Chain A
């Protein structure tokens, strides 16, 4: 088996609020190989964004990483000094966010911000950085790159801004790109452009991608491996084909069935009853108990482990504890 680029072991990130401790990420483990694209799927409050921020070392008070390891090329990032972490961010690990406008400083030109990050991490001269920046802007498909280089972020459209963010993120050839809902704020034709761009660029450079999303369509088109998160835990972890064909967790199945699909037509959508529980409210048993149609007495008392069904399929559900059960 190939050496993992990123390995997360039993990561726990808790938020210490006035009303007690909220376990936003509660024992998450997974690994990511070089060149692999992984998706973390979940609804709001599932802990998917907190997971990515924990990896980047961007968890601020009142949140705190309480336990576990984040191994990046064998190095534990949770114990790394702030200085080394800053070096790593942007250089080896880059991140793009949902709303590019808020991640770009409105007071500086686009070019200024890209060259800044190039100069910071690559020790290039001003001129070199400018040349490299324009090259990157062209690479992400921005027409009239020189003009965009000297524009301010608010003058660009949403799609252009996301391209700029990608150019910035990829300017230092990161080994890992974390993309938190990169296309959610974009229109569908622009989304298609950006996804295509991400695919091409990462294929070229063999970059690994961690994609955080709620859109199963994007997952189906983009990734190799999927992690489904619910209430801070991984509930299912497998390759994308198995996940869509044979989902084992009732939540995954519910999620797949409740999504209206563009290539199918149904009279009525299935839906998952109830709402996502606030983190920390379910203290006993399976976290999905309140919404599960197949919950048994055991599910309310004992919490299931993430169990390996086959070499590449793990699921956290009592239904699969003994034998294969069709759900």
Chain B
């Protein structure tokens, strides 16, 4: 049998046995519908985002309006609740629901931007250190080690007290204290991926280093990165809360979930709703982001097709 006819025959068998690769959007939708948690995550994250954008028209009250007559009103369904304040009021008579709605703006912005900043630095450092190895790797990883040795809160306190607390400083501080975990993660992944033969193949074709990093390494480290970064949006929101609590985070009258939560801490024994509702807002948002991250990881992996 000649080689040619073998080849033809072979192609025929394959054509009949493999399916077409669907377009990105079709896969995207199919994977979304297949994943219940992904769908829930996406809906909640979209909802929270919309709430943050349209806070002004959604909030029933001015979030900073102090009303001594309405101090510590419980939620509407509890005894003594008022329908004017569905989730009750705080110790200064401010409407909790409105505060949570406004707080979503800052919490989301800080959480996402800080993680984006940390991720960008971390992924860059990790890629460079892992791919080039040797002295560059050594220097960068010692830098990572020294960042790990600095207590996050202490570092944040110092920087925030030097530059003064503001949303931007907060994002920068959270960004530069968190990049190390991404750097370590990405470097580890790169070390194993760069031994795979497709990287060798790219080198032997003559692909330049920066292109190998961008086209061959980056897409292959993105999955673990997304999982970790969604988890860390959660911790960042909480870290922001702790800094706000220490008085170095978001300053009144700007509102964040962490801020509301720490305001409510003193009243937790008598008026649980002050801390419970912002706490729930954080928990639900964080869970939704994690769900969304899991789904996103699948979308970005061509192997998760069927």
Contacts and interface: CB of A to CB of B under 8 A. Distances in A.
Contact of B10 (A268, A273, A277, A293): A273
Contact of A274 (B3, B9, B306): B9
A19 B13 contact: no
Contacts of B6: 271, 273
Contacts of A270: 1
Interface in A256-312: 268, 270-271, 273-275, 277-278, 281, 290-291, 293
Nearest to B16: A290
Contacts of A293: 1
Interface string B1-39: 101001001100110010000000000000000000000
A274 B13 contact: yes
B3 to A, nearest CB: 8
B1 A277 contact: no
A291 B1 CA distance: 13
Most chain B CB atoms below 10 A, which of A19, A274, A277: A274
A27 B17 CA distance: 25
B306 A291 contact: no
B13 to A, nearest CB: 4
Chain A's interface: helix, strand, loop or mixed, by majority? loop
Given A19-B306, A270-B1, A293-B1, A281 B17 contact: yes
B10 to A, nearest CB: 5
Contacts of A275: 10, 13-14
Contacts of B9: 273-274
Contacts of B3: 268
Contacts of B13: 273-275, 290-291
A277 B17 contact: yes
A275 B14 CA distance: 8
Contacts of A278: 17
A270 B1 CA distance: 7
Contacts of B10: 273-275
A252 B105 CA distance: 70
Contacts of A273: 1, 6, 9-10, 13
A281 B1 CA distance: 26
Nearest to A293: B1
A278 B14 CA distance: 11
Nearest to B3: A268
A278 B13 CA distance: 12
Contacts of B306: 19
A275 B10 CA distance: 8
23 contacts: A19-B306, A268-B3, A270-B1, A271-B1, A271-B6, A273-B1, A273-B6, A273-B9, A273-B10, A273-B13, A274-B9, A274-B10, A274-B13, A274-B14, A275-B10, A275-B13, A275-B14, A277-B17, A278-B17, A281-B17, A290-B13, A291-B13, A293-B1
Interface of B: 1, 3, 6, 9-10, 13-14, 17, 306
Given A270-B1, A293-B1, 14 more contacts: A19-B306, A271-B6, A273-B1, A273-B6, A274-B9, A274-B10, A274-B13, A274-B14, A275-B14, A277-B17, A278-B17, A281-B17, A290-B13, A291-B13
Interface of A: 19, 268, 270-271, 273-275, 277-278, 281, 290-291, 293
Pairs of residues from A and B, 9 with the lowest C-beta to C-beta distance, nearest first: A274-B13, A273-B9, A273-B6, A274-B10, A290-B13, A273-B10, A271-B6, A274-B9, A281-B17
